[in-house]
Amino acid sequence: MLSPARAQMPTSQVEALAQRAAAILIDRKACDVVLLSLQGVSDMTDFFLIASGTSDTHVRALGNAVLEDLKKETGQMANHVEGLSQGRWVLLDYVDFVVHVFHPTLRNFYQIERLWADAQPVPLIAAVSN
């Protein structure tokens, strides 16, 4: 499967969308929300947004909230969605940023932050306002 072409969106606009997705997750009580910049680390995407839900139901609800709210507020639709029906690990691929919402046991098992240890953490704007 060929991946879609990367958008020609300015990095600041991509980061703003990722920050908005982070705010949506935080507003809905996601745990351990982390935004990583993959610029200079990978050409696959610019940012990873990683969060945990407290249960399968919470993980599904968080994924649906990001999908619905970003579409309604910004017109952005995910290019690809995986895991939404199971609620263990939801992946929302917006091409220039990817949202990962994990059940806590899977997040601990895969340790995605450790796998991408070269990526730089980005301070969350939503965390400052709460």
Residue 110 in any domain: the answer is yes
Cα distances from 127 to residues 20, 121, 122, 124, in angstroms, run: 11, 13, 11, 5
Q: For residue range 83-115, what is the model confidence (pLDDT) as tens digits?
A: 999 999 999 999 999 999 999 999 999 999 999
CATH of residue 83: 3.30.460.10
Residue 67 in any domain: the answer is yes
Residue 2 in any domain: the answer is no
Report how many domains make up the chain.
Answer: 1
Residue ranges making up the domain that contains 59: 11-129
Provide the whole-model pTM: 0.90
Residue 27 in any domain: the answer is yes
Is the model's pLDDT at 68 over the cut of 80?
yes
Q: Which residues contact 50 (CB under 8 A, 6 or more apart)?
A: 32, 33, 34, 35, 36, 100, 102, 107, 112, 113
Residue 1 in any domain: the answer is no
